[in-house]
Each structure stands twice: as C-alpha cells, then as structure tokens.
Structure 1
Amino acid sequence: MRFIRLIFVAALALVLVAVALANRDMVTLSAFPANFGQYLGGTWSLTVPLFLVIFVAFALGMLAGLVWEWLREAHFRREARQRNAEVVRLESEVGHLRDRHAAPRDEVLAILDEPAPAKGAALPAVR
C-alpha cells in the first residue's frame, strides 16, 4: 500500500511540475474593473505566474468542498455521538441490573458472562 501511495504522489508531483512549466507566463489579477481602482486609491492588482493562480484556485476549491462536506455531515456525527452515549448508558444499566438480580455463582462463570465494553466506553479501573 505504501508503494502505491508513493507512485501516486510521484505521478501527481510530475503532473504539477508539468503544469507549472507549461504555464509560467505572468498574469495580472485585478480586484476591480479597469478604472474603478483609481477611485479607491492604491494599486488593486497583482502580477503572478499563471500556474500559481491555477494551483491556488484548485486549493481553495478543495478547501471549500471540504468545509461544505464537514458542515453537511455534522448532524450524522452528532447523532452517532448521541447513540454511542445511549449505548454506554444502557450497557451500564444492564450491568447494574445483572449485579442486583443475579444469583450468586461461580467466579469464573461470572467473568465469562461479562460483556465486552463498547467502542468508546471507558474500561473499568484495575484494582
């Protein structure tokens, strides 16, 4: 798996270098239309290589998509957290009910009957 990832990263780096070399021309990015910037004062333009514009636009698009998906899935994460807390609470309740209503039995059988802790649940302290 590590080898496949290395090949993928190397191919991606090769493609990015090829795009950068093919788009080395300088371009001027203006924040406002041609004569509008003079009313605000100062220079509202920036001259950068074209490949930098392409890479920054791609990175900002990826970041926007990441944030969008993270916000979209927030209710799924909240529901999973609530259900996990409910499972932990119910397992604790079942354990208390077993302890209260179970007849005395062999110690080895009692250890074997204990359920495994749920994912995310804290393990009991060792005495």
Structure 2
Amino acid sequence: MKTIRYAFWGIILVLLVLVGLANSSYVTLRAMPVALGDLFGISPDIDLPLYVVLFIGVGAGLLIGFLWEWLRESRMRAERRVKAREVERLKREVDQLKGAAAGAKDDDDVLALLEKTG
C-alpha cells in the first residue's frame, strides 16, 4: 500500500513540475485596473511566473474550502460533544446502579456467584 501511495505522490510531483515548466513565463498581477490605478495614482502590481500564480490560486481555494467545511461542521462537533457527555453520565449512572444492585444481592450467595461469572 505504501508503494501505491509513493507512486501516486510521485506522479503528482512530476505533473506539478511539468505544469511549472510549461508555464514559466512571467505575468503581471495588478491589484486594480490600469485606469483606476492611474486615477488614484497608485498601481500595486507584481511580476510572478504563471505557475506560481496557479499554485497560489489552487492553495487559496483549498484553504477557503477547508475553512468553509470546518465552519459548516462546527454544529455537528458541538452536538457530538454534548452526546459524549451524556453517554459518560449514563455510563456512570449504570455503574452506580450495578453497584447498588450487587450490594442488594450479596444476601444470596448463589446469585452473587452467578453475577460474578456472568
């Protein structure tokens, strides 16, 4: 199974390198359109290779998706915590009731032996 996993990640690595080599030309990223930048007198822009822009876009998309999913599931996690606390409380209550029932059955030796083996 490890071999398949390493082969998968190796193929992904080769594909990423190929995408990087095929898109190595530089592009200019602008924070605002040229006309608006000229109007305000500022034009923040940066020159980056195209593959860097692609990888940053994919990474930002994944990060936003993971954050969105984590926020969506917060209600389910809170509900699971409440249920786990309730289960623990009920287990403690059952243990207490078993202890009380065992104390009441100590009068009969045969029943006490049957409870210990069962």
Aligned to 1:57: 57
CA contact (8 A) 2:31 2:43 kept: no
* Corresponding residue SS for 1:36: helix
Give the Cα–Cα distance (whole angstroms) in 1 for the partners of residues 40 and 86 of structure 2: 58
* Corresponding residue SS for 2:35: coil
Q: Which runs of 5+ in 1 are unaligned?
A: 114-127
Corresponding pairs, count: 111
CA RMSD in angstroms, aligned pairs only: 2.0
**How much does 1:66 deviate?**
0.6
Is 2:86 aligned against 1:78?
Answer: no
Structure 1 consecutive aligned stretches of length 4 or more whose deviation exceeds 6 Å: none
Aligned to 2:92: 92
Give the Cα–Cα distance (whole angstroms) in 2 for the partners of residues 20 and 86 of structure 1: 53
Query: Which letter maps to 1:58?
Result: V
Aligned to 1:47: 47
Give the Cα–Cα distance (whole angstroms) in 2 for the partners of residues 100 and 13 of structure 1: 63
Q: Which runs of 5+ in 2 are unaligned?
A: 107-111
Aligned to 1:24: 24
**CA-to-aligned-CA distance 1:95-126 (integer Å, 9 cap, x gap):** 111111222224x91xx66xxxxxxxxxxxxx
- Percent of aligned pairs sharing the same letter: 37
**How much does 1:36 deviate?**
2.3
* Corresponding residue SS for 1:35: helix
Question: Which structure has the larger Rg over C-alpha atoms?
Answer: 2
Give the Cα–Cα distance (whole angstroms) in 2 for the partners of residues 48 and 90 of structure 1: 60
* Corresponding residue SS for 2:66: helix
Give the Cα–Cα distance (whole angstroms) in 2 for the partners of residues 75 and 33 of structure 1: 41
Give the Cα–Cα distance (whole angstroms) in 1 for the partners of residues 74 and 9 of structure 2: 30
CA contact (8 A) 2:32 2:43 kept: no
Give TM-score, length-normalised by structure 1: 0.79
